[in-house]
Structure 1
Amino acid sequence: MQQNYLSDIATWRQHAGSKGIPSICSAHPMVIEASMLHALARGEHLLVEATCNQVNQDGGYTGMTPADFRVFVEKIAEKAGFPLDRLILGGDHLGPNPWKNLPADEAMAKACTMIDAFARAGFTKLHLDTSMGCAGEPVALPDAVTAERAARLASVAEAALVGSHGVQPVYIVGTEVPIPGGAMEELDVLEVTKPEAALKTVEVHREAFEAAGVASAFSRAVGAVVQPGVEFGNHNVIAYEPEKAAALSATLAGMPGMVFEAHSTDYQTRDALRRLVLDGFSILKVGPGLTFALREAFYGLDRVADFLFPGKRRETLLDTVERVLTAEPKNWEKYYHGTADEQRLQRHFSYSDRIRYYWPHPEINAAVSDLFAILDGVEIPETLISQYLQASYTAVREGRVKPQAEALALAAVDHVLEDYFEACRA
């Protein structure tokens, strides 16, 4: 089988070039397109990941199976001119989480079916997350149980690839983050993973893989998910403090071939992201931060269209979003609390960006299409860009971004991506 691009990620910091890699955790086509265009311009590989809730054999909340998601991403690559041999697909939090309301045997059976589908669809970075309790179990499971279940999933993935001549998958183990979807509440402080806990996570997984007869799979485990002390709530971001993670970072010396994977790095500064990479948190996951930037651009363009073409639409994009989210609260009501006014603020402007679950909604998707149709071919005045799309103003003035709707939306995402790609070159 072919060598995986990520197989030697632990050695990257010793050489010139990339020291880490951003992980793009989004199913929005414009986010993926912007990411491909950015990676293409830099001559870099691109890692795009799908979570277990987002994509699975039942369709997830996107309605896509792993095979569907691959086709979806490859079509965007064709549009962007991005070479498929530089595309890495990853599966995130692969385990029983989508079915944790079921008894463990049933939930794990479904998780096995899921990882089989991810492996067969050519996803070559697999994060095994079996830490959550299922029906009748504690919320958090003992390390030995978690590792045994992870090894079972790895066995399924390895069996799915017998006889294949494609790229061998690499594995990520462990979890020290909120459930897929983000934090459930406002955050004040986080406890950084204890060094001994990180070492234990890796060791118990090594033992479980060996016991399951898939030691060769563990030889391709390149990372462990830990908590370096970064997260975001609805209204606040907990910034990375290197000194608090110094002892954790030092444990990598005892984990040859391994790096740390940092989840929820959204909204960190470029300097903080760079420090994370230098400290061994070489895989930087970002998702809501990208769709947050895209939403900012959509809302800015919404205001531009309302000013340039007053009365042409029955309803603004913001009004459509508010109406749909109010009528269909299932994807935000567990996360947004407070008074009616506070919830309205969070529906649109929370860092958790639960709007990202609603962009495929038929009415909201139609409203976005109408917005872009109204602005199609329109050169938006620089002064309106300064007012409503400030992040792209300088790039427009310098001729790097066209003053047109699609270009401005892609540029909003690119502005965030620049921090991640620059940080990964450290």
Structure 2
Amino acid sequence: MSNYLLELATARRNGIPLGITSVCSAHPTVLRAAVRRASATKQHVLIEATCNQVNHLGGYTGMTPADFVSLVKAIAAEEGLERSLLIFGGDHLGPNPWRKEHAEAALAKARDMVEAYVAAGFSKIHIDTSMGCAGEPAALDDRTIARRAADLCQVAEDAANAAGLPPPVYVLGTEVPVPGGADHMLDRVEPTSPEAARSTISIHREIFAAAGLDDAFERVLAFVVQPGVEFGSENFVEYNPPKAVNLAGVLRDHGKLVFEAHSTDYQPEEALTALVRDGFSILKVGPGLTFAYRQALYGLDMIASELVPSYGTRPLVATMERLMLEHPGDWQGHYHGDDASLRLQRHYSYSDRIRYYWNRPEAASAVQTLLDALKGRSIPQPLLHQFLPGWATAGSNAEGILLNAVDDVLAIYERAIHQR
């Protein structure tokens, strides 16, 4: 499973553009769409959970790493996916969820989290210790970051050994886009400088060696760098290959490595294809998938309003607006402007902060009410063309339309990572 990830660098060295999509979501519809595609194509699927989303204390989903693995495995069994094709990854594992605490306390919780992830069967571990904790600078120096990364790596190695599991593969590096997207309009994003990338790799290699982690460092498959992609609330910055050519050139001196690209959501297919061609072989996507899910769901909400007299007028949207106003913590500070602008962003932003609300009971109930209203009903093609023109031929089954909406995004990534 994780051995497949190590083949990415081999393919790059041999001049074969090969990548993998990192599906960063805990939404059941997104997970099912990803697993169903893998089952149909017989290709590996990489499912990742983030430190805020899933951790040993529950995260914002309420799931521990073991819970998350159980959920995905259950979906995989239902979809007939061969177990060897399923890879679990842990994203941004480090002190980030507890960075308002002092470093000692935050790192202690990070150790417990890493141990729980590895013991649950996560075989790809992205260690991210780049953030300062209480009383520290927001951005730490490279050596402090590397020392903390080595500490968490040792925890992962010990956890795998104790559980009788194969040792994990690792992703390191600190220069990542803002998790979940930027909170402002973007004009441009500068790629990581080649000098910074080389320095990061060198310092981590040195400190891991000093900590007796040479063998673990041999299993580092990628470093996270900024290739020059990002999305904000209302726009995204497209990958510009000439600007990243010197950064991509760093890989010529590091034959066993590829780069991992975060925030690739909303990139057009040609940009994703170029990223893989240039050695950014791991493409992370999350909000872009739940954005497509929300887009289809809101279209169905309008269809049901027209088709089912007893359904009402867009009750799903009304429920989500009420939820987000009553519990603003997951979008306030990320969206800016007057009341009208804030309302639009709450529902339609590329940052897709609404994704934090779908697992709330009120939201789940509203979605189920929508699906029940459309169950057994044939949606006329003209209504599909009016409200969901992109999926007008996807069939009249509401749940199928939601899956197809997510799968359309995954299909773009599939073509980019398996170039012919």
User: Same fold per TM (> 0.5)?
Assistant: yes
The aligned amino acid for 1:276 is L
Say whether the 8 Å CA contact 1:52–1:92 is kept in structure 2.
yes
Query: Residue 309 of structure 2: SS of its match in structure 1?
Result: coil
In the aligned structure 2, how far is the partner of 1:87 from the partner of 1:16? 26
Say whether the 8 Å CA contact 1:3–1:167 is kept in structure 2.
no
Cα deviation, 1:344-401, whole Å, max 9, x if unaligned, reads: 00000000000100000111110000100111122211111111111112xx2xxxx3
Aligned to 1:148: 147
In the aligned structure 1, how far is the partner of 2:71 from the partner of 2:45? 15
**1:175-186 equivalences in 2 (<5 Å):** 175-186=174-185
Shift of 1:334: 1.2
Shift of 1:305: 0.5
Say whether the 8 Å CA contact 1:4–1:169 is kept in structure 2.
no
The aligned amino acid for 1:155 is Q
Cα deviation, 1:66-113, whole Å, max 9, x if unaligned, reads: 111101111111222222211000000010000011111111111111
Shift of 1:287: 0.3
Aligned to 1:405: 398
Say whether the 8 Å CA contact 1:177–1:227 is kept in structure 2.
yes
Query: Residue 310 of structure 2: SS of its match in structure 1?
Result: coil
Of 398, 415, 422, the residue aligned with 2:408 is 415
Say whether the 8 Å CA contact 1:104–1:135 is kept in structure 2.
yes
Cα deviation, 1:150-195, whole Å, max 9, x if unaligned, reads: 0000000001111554333110001222343332322221111000
**1:129-208 equivalences in 2 (<5 Å):** 129-162=128-161, 164-208=163-207
**1:323-362 equivalences in 2 (<5 Å):** 323-362=322-361
Shift of 1:266: 0.3
Say whether the 8 Å CA contact 2:302–2:314 is kept in structure 1.
no
**1:266-345 equivalences in 2 (<5 Å):** 266-313=265-312, 316-345=315-344
Change (3 A) 1:415 1:314: closer
Farther off after superposition, 186-195 or 335-344: 186-195
In the aligned structure 2, how far is the partner of 1:267 from the partner of 1:152? 35
In the aligned structure 1, how far is the partner of 2:360 from the partner of 2:135? 34
Farther off after superposition, 36-45 or 243-252: 36-45
Shift of 1:314: 7.9
Aligned to 1:30: 29
In the aligned structure 2, how far is the partner of 1:63 from the partner of 1:3? 26
In the aligned structure 2, how far is the partner of 1:414 from the partner of 1:84? 20
Say whether the 8 Å CA contact 1:223–1:261 is kept in structure 2.
yes
- Among the aligned pairs, what percent are the same residue? 53
In the aligned structure 1, how far is the partner of 2:13 from the partner of 2:305? 52
Say whether the 8 Å CA contact 1:173–1:225 is kept in structure 2.
yes
Output the aligned Cα RMSD: 1.5
Aligned to 1:105: 104
Aligned to 2:373: 374
Query: Residue 4 of structure 1: SS of its match in structure 2?
Result: helix
Query: Residue 307 of structure 1: SS of its match in structure 2?
Result: helix
Cα deviation, 1:18-51, whole Å, max 9, x if unaligned, reads: 7000000000000010111112221100000011
The aligned amino acid for 1:113 is D
Say whether the 8 Å CA contact 1:195–1:248 is kept in structure 2.
yes
> Aligned residue pairs: how many?
419
In the aligned structure 1, how far is the partner of 2:372 from the partner of 2:224? 43
Farther off after superposition, 171-180 or 200-209: 171-180
Say whether the 8 Å CA contact 1:202–1:224 is kept in structure 2.
yes
Does residue 54 of structure 2 align to residue 55 of structure 1? yes
Farther off after superposition, 371-380 or 314-323: 314-323
Cα deviation, 1:90-148, whole Å, max 9, x if unaligned, reads: 00001000001111111111111110111111101000100000010000000000000
Listed as ranges, the gaps of 5+ residues in structure 1 are none
Say whether the 8 Å CA contact 2:289–2:409 is kept in structure 1.
yes
Query: Residue 61 of structure 1: SS of its match in structure 2?
Result: coil
Farther off after superposition, 74-83 or 145-154: 74-83
TM-score for the superposition, normalised by structure 2: 0.97
Say whether the 8 Å CA contact 1:129–1:150 is kept in structure 2.
yes
The aligned amino acid for 1:413 is V
Aligned to 2:232: 233
Say whether the 8 Å CA contact 2:191–2:227 is kept in structure 1.
yes
In the aligned structure 2, how far is the partner of 1:8 from the partner of 1:343? 45
The aligned amino acid for 1:239 is E
Say whether the 8 Å CA contact 1:126–1:171 is kept in structure 2.
yes
Aligned to 2:72: 73
In the aligned structure 1, how far is the partner of 2:13 from the partner of 2:224? 22
Aligned to 1:252: 251
Shift of 1:343: 0.2
Cα deviation, 1:308-328, whole Å, max 9, x if unaligned, reads: 012334861111111111111
In the aligned structure 1, how far is the partner of 2:119 from the partner of 2:92? 17
